[in-house]
Structure 1
Amino acid sequence: MKKIGVIGIPGGWSSEKLADSVAERTGFRLLVDPSSVRLDLPSGRAMFGEVELNSLDGLIIKKIGRSYSPDLLDRLEVFRFLAEQGMPIFSKPMSIIRVLDRLSCTITLQLTGIPMPPLTITEDVDAALDAVTTYGEAVFKPLYSTKARGMFVLQPGPEARAIIERHKAEHRIMYIQKKIELNGRDLGVVFLGGQYLTTYARTVRNDAWNTTTASGGKYQPHEPSQEIIALAHKAQAPFGLDFTCVDVVETADGPMVFEVSAFGGFRGIQEACGINAARHYADYVCGRIMA
């Protein structure tokens, strides 16, 4: 019997579902809260309670924290240590580190030639104000966030400078993206082991500017064009993630990519497509560890 642990959030829907799916395959269930792991560097032992993680046959990182922050990069270093010692970890911690920071992810996508909405990165308030004026409407995004948390839309106006200054007080480096017309939806294009799995749409509700479920967005099934699948495949390829979702928006200028997810979500796939992504992921991991 192989022992495969899941790094995630106790009580979290996706984390618990993945731990259950792994247990169905292996007979062993361990959901590891990353905030409760201790790494003893002299011995090289990583402990979760009484469980020595080094003794496991592998780990799957579903979530590394309840909310995104730079602290998660440090938390991932513990698992990078295990990976460098030879433990199979899905996805590799270094792959997650490269995509967790929104700016790092964006720079990689831009260097790969992926079409994205116009974007300004700056620490200067005047430059940020110029970007808002140029774009007409701009979305300010924290470098570490998910589901649109901390994001806001800004238009040129007498209060714009003061709003930018308040934002800069909390976010020294400002990530400012031109607001793109969503036409009511954007897409989550899902990949497992670098292979296309499925696509779902997130639709706008209640006149929200984004499609997140927190803003009333709903998941729906969607059959994408081959152009969109090819673009999303190219976007996720540089990161080498075992499971991910590429956020794509269809525009008058063709499809564009917003970002590549560090972890990918299960709920949208389940609700829109009827696919048990946790089971697919568990099968994928077990197939590689047990081979």
Structure 2
Amino acid sequence: MTKIGIIGTPGGWSSEMLADTVDRKTGYRELIPLSEISLDLETGSAWFGDTDLSKLDALIVKKAGTHYSPALLDRLEMLRFLHERGLKIYSNPFKIMRVLDRLSCTVTLNNGGIPMPPTTITENIEAAIKAVESYGEAVFKPMFSSKARGMVVMRPSEALREDVERFTQEHGIMYIQKKMELGGQDLGVVFLGGEYLTTYARCNDGSSWNTTTRSGGKYKAFTPTNSTIELARKAQALFGLDFTCVDVAETEEGPVIFEVSAFGGFKGIQTACGMDAAELYVDYVLKKVEQP
């Protein structure tokens, strides 16, 4: 029996789907919250209940936790320890860490020549105010977040300084990005093993500035231009993830990248494109595990 564990969230839609798919294909099912692992550095074992993860054939990482924070990096370090001792993990924990931190992801994309919205990173209040005035409208983003949680849109106003001070008191370093005109949608361009899989659109319902499903956005099928696919391919190649979704916006100036994600995409793929992402991913991992 091939034993593949799923690092994810019990009760989570995509985590449970992955675990069910592995069970159907291998007869083994283990869904493991990363927060409940105990790592023994002396023996090189990592325990979840009575299961020593170091003895499994592989792990698939779907979720590192329910709330994005720097603590997720520490949890992923435990997986990095196991991976560097020979356990096959998809995606490589170190590569996940590089996209999980918004600033790390942004620096890698920018250094790789990937077009992104104009962005300012600062802890200085005056510099932040100047950036907002320059952009006209800006989105302040926490370094660790998903589905636009904690993001705030700011514009030049009498209350701007107070708003900026409030944000930096809560989040520290300010990640400030020019708000782009998206036409009510952005794209998730999906890759498996570095190969293009499909694209879906996230469309807002007019009640929010963002397109996330958390704010009422809906998934729809979408056929991107070749230039959009190739830009997303170039962006994801900088990180080398086994499964990834690249967040792209098609603007009047051409496509721009917001981020590369290690965890997103499953529900959008199924809802908009009719594809079973869990089935495709598990088949991919099984082939990798069976390789000598």
TM-based fold match above 0.5: yes
Name the SS for the 1:66 alignment partner: coil
For structure 1, the residue ranges without an aligned partner over 5 or more in a row are: none
Cα RMSD between the aligned structures? 0.7
Preserved contact between residue 199 and residue 269 of structure 1 (Cα < 8 Å): yes
Other-structure match for 1:79 = 79
In the aligned structure 2, how far is the partner of 1:214 from the partner of 1:4? 31
Shift of 1:206: 2.8
Shift of 1:262: 2.1
1:55-94 equivalence runs, <5 A: 55-94=55-94
Other-structure match for 2:200 = 200
Shift of 1:33: 1.1
Identity of aligned residues (%): 62
In the aligned structure 1, how far is the partner of 2:24 from the partner of 2:240? 26
Preserved contact between residue 4 and residue 58 of structure 1 (Cα < 8 Å): yes
In the aligned structure 2, how far is the partner of 1:33 from the partner of 1:216? 28
1:13-162 equivalence runs, <5 A: 13-162=13-162
For structure 2, the residue ranges without an aligned partner over 5 or more in a row are: none
Preserved contact between residue 10 and residue 31 of structure 1 (Cα < 8 Å): yes
In the aligned structure 2, how far is the partner of 1:110 from the partner of 1:54? 36
Preserved contact between residue 148 and residue 210 of structure 1 (Cα < 8 Å): yes
Tell me if 1:186 matches 2:219. no
Name the SS for the 1:201 alignment partner: strand
Shift of 1:264: 2.2
In the aligned structure 2, how far is the partner of 1:267 from the partner of 1:244? 13
Preserved contact between residue 188 and residue 265 of structure 2 (Cα < 8 Å): no
Deviations 1:131-174 (A, max 9, x none): 00000000000000000000010000100000000111011110
Other-structure match for 1:247 = 247
Name the SS for the 1:281 alignment partner: helix
In the aligned structure 2, how far is the partner of 1:106 from the partner of 1:134? 20
One-letter amino acid of the counterpart of residue 142, structure 1: P
Deviations 1:85-109 (A, max 9, x none): 0110000000001110000000000
Shift of 1:215: 1.0
Other-structure match for 1:226 = 226
Name the SS for the 1:239 alignment partner: coil
One-letter amino acid of the counterpart of residue 118, structure 1: P
One-letter amino acid of the counterpart of residue 153, structure 1: V
In the aligned structure 2, how far is the partner of 1:264 from the partner of 1:155? 30
Name the SS for the 1:210 alignment partner: coil
Please give the TM-score of this superposition, normalised by the length of structure 1.
0.99
